Amino acid sequence: MKKNILITGGAGFIGSHVVRLFVNKYPQYNIFNLDALTYAGNLENLTDMSDKENYTFLKGDITNIDFVNSIFAKFNFDGVIHLAAESHVDRSITNPMEFINTNIVGTVVLLNAAKENWKNDFSNKLFYHISTDEVYGSLGETGFFKETTNYDPQSPYSASKASSDHLVRAYNNTYKLPIVISNCSNNYGSHQFPEKLIPLSINNIKNNKPIPIYGKGDNIRDWLFVEDHANAIDVIFHKGKNGETYNIGGINEWTNLDLIHKLCEVMDKKLGREPETSKKLITFVTDRAGHDKRYAIDASKLTKELGWKPSLQFEEGIEKTVDWYLNNEDWVKNIVSGDYAKYYESMYKNR
Ligand code: NAD
Ligand code: TDX
């Protein structure tokens, strides 16, 4: 019997990489992608999946109890990999309610459906919740987030993800629902919605528009290539221990300003511009409210216990990423020609 695996949020950035990996690597699984196709969901991320026999797209909202229960009853999922979420910190500052609904309520709807559907036999079932390093808060100049670091979320986004993590653990403790959680650092790579720093900057550099850097550009993020995150998810889904948390990170810290300098260098080369040309587009703008200073992940538990480590150096990953955006102009055009223009105008006009 083929296993039925539910992936939520599979039309988004990371989810589409996870869907592609699982569909191609595991013909013995039927992969079901449940996605509401919000502004961030895009079936163009998965055009290469549409004719795969072991792939099914289900359009639906994870907060819709009847719908979620009905698909659990119909497909008897053996496992869930839960990525669907509102994911952009800036949007959580202007519109926190959507984050509460999707990230907290939606997660509980899925947990309940799994618990009810699996209640007679939890063996060989798994609810895998994908989370973020932002739940741990903000670091000073030293130290790393470990799995044992206390939660200290600082934005509506990270607080909603922290709540969902707590609820997933509560279902494990109270109902013995088999779960794993992973908390990952910032991802970059193909198919990322251009509201996030790297694809936004690539698009602006290409079009000779200002690159907005919040504050002084001295905030630090730990960047991981998205395909390495998808590989870590594969390893944790198959080898992770019930009830455990695994941190995933790139061992790759950059200040935002250094990262944009690197990106400008790569783009100047790729676009045939004189060195130092694109750097002139850098524009310092009003800081993000409550902007976390530094994230850095200690992923040694995952490496030691399950054998995962990142496969790519940042220099290689950023070149691949830039190449993808430059070779997929239509993908970008289809996004920036829609509601994105309105979003960009309201987010950046008074900064
Ligand atoms: P994304 O915004 O690109 O994609 C989110 C997807 O979820 C979209 O396809 C969207 O349509 C779908 N979705 C949103 N609300 C939904 C709902 N109510 N019902 C069904 N589908 C819905 O996000 P991403 O960057 O790919 O992040 C995926 C997951 O990974 C999130 O849980 C996020 O918190 C986590 N994460 C992201 C990063 C990162 O750097 N992007 C890092 C660590 C963890
Ligand atoms: O225009 C910008 N200018 C700027 O300076 C944008 C969009 C961002 N920034 C800064 C803010 C951050 O310090 O760049 C850094 C990265 O910003 P984002 O790409 O928005 O990512 P971040 O806020 O760090 O969160 C990301 O990583 C953790 C994802 O969006 C989350 O979903 C994930 O959980």
CB distance 251 to ligand 1 below 6 Å:
no
Going by alpha carbons, the residue nearest to atom 36 of ligand 1 is 132
Over 90: is that where the pLDDT of 110 sits?
A: yes
In the residue annotation, 274 being an active-site residue is answered as no
User: Given this model, what pLDDT does residue 250 score?
Assistant: 85
d(CA 278, CA 282): 8
Report CA(207)–ligand 2 centroid distance (Å): 21
CB distance 41 to ligand 1 below 6 Å:
yes
User: Given this model, what pLDDT does residue 1 score?
Assistant: 83
Residue found under tokens 């044992």: 148
pLDDT band at 350 (very low <50, low <70, confident <90, very high): confident
Is the CB of residue 115 less than 8 Å from the CB of residue 170? Answer: no
**What is the architecture, at CATH level 2, of domain 197-220+255-289+315-348?**
Alpha-Beta Complex (3.90)
Among residues 157, 27, 7, 12, which one has the least CA distance to residue 94?
157
Sign of the C-alpha dihedral computed for residues 311, 317, 321 and 327 taken in this order: negative
d(CA 316, CA 225): 10
- 213 by Cβ neighbours in 10 Å (0-12 / 13-18 / 19+) ranks as buried
| Ligand 2 pocket mutation pick from 214, 248, 257, 292 by most atoms within 8 angstroms of CB | 214
Residue boundaries of the structural domains of the chain: 3-188+222-248, 197-220+255-289+315-348
202-234 residue pLDDT tens = 999 999 999 999 999 999 999 999 999 999 999
Does this model's pTM top 0.85?
yes
Report CA(292)–ligand 2 centroid distance (Å): 10
Over 90: is that where the pLDDT of 19 sits?
A: yes
Phi-psi region of 199 (alpha: psi -120 to 50; beta: other; left: phi over 0): alpha
43-95 residue pLDDT tens = 999 999 989 999 999 999 999 999 999 999 999 999 999 999 999 999 999 99
* CATH no. of 3-188+222-248: 3.40.50.720
Q: Which ligand is nearest to the CA of 17?
A: 1
In the residue annotation, 133 being an active-site residue is answered as yes
User: Given this model, what pLDDT does residue 287 score?
Assistant: 98
Of the chain, the percentage scoring pLDDT greater than 70 comes to 100
d(CA 93, CA 154): 11
User: Given this model, what pLDDT does residue 129 score?
Assistant: 99
User: Given this model, what pLDDT does residue 230 score?
Assistant: 98
Active-site pick, 35, 61, 86, 134: 134
Q: Which atom of ligand 2 is nearest to the CA of 295?
A: 24
CB distance 199 to ligand 1 below 6 Å:
no
Among residues 93, 166, 183, 130, which one has the least CA distance to residue 8?
130
305-343 residue pLDDT tens = 999 999 999 999 999 999 999 999 999 999 998 899 899
Over 90: is that where the pLDDT of 117 sits?
A: yes
Task: State the pairing for strand pair 211-214/253-255.
Answer: unpaired
Report CA(197)–ligand 2 centroid distance (Å): 5
CB distance 103 to ligand 1 below 6 Å:
no
DSSP 208: T
pLDDT band at 252 (very low <50, low <70, confident <90, very high): very high
List the structure tokens of 160: 């909603």
DSSP 133: G
Average of per-residue pLDDT across 125-154 = 97
CB distance 190 to ligand 1 below 6 Å:
no
Among residues 221, 238, 253, 252, which one has the least CA distance to residue 307?
238
Over 90: is that where the pLDDT of 167 sits?
A: yes
CB distance 85 to ligand 1 below 6 Å:
yes
Ligand 2 binding site (Cβ under 6 Å of any ligand atom): 87-89, 132, 134, 186, 196-197, 200, 212-214, 219, 221, 256, 288
Report CA(203)–ligand 1 centroid distance (Å): 21
The pLDDT mean for the chain works out to: 97
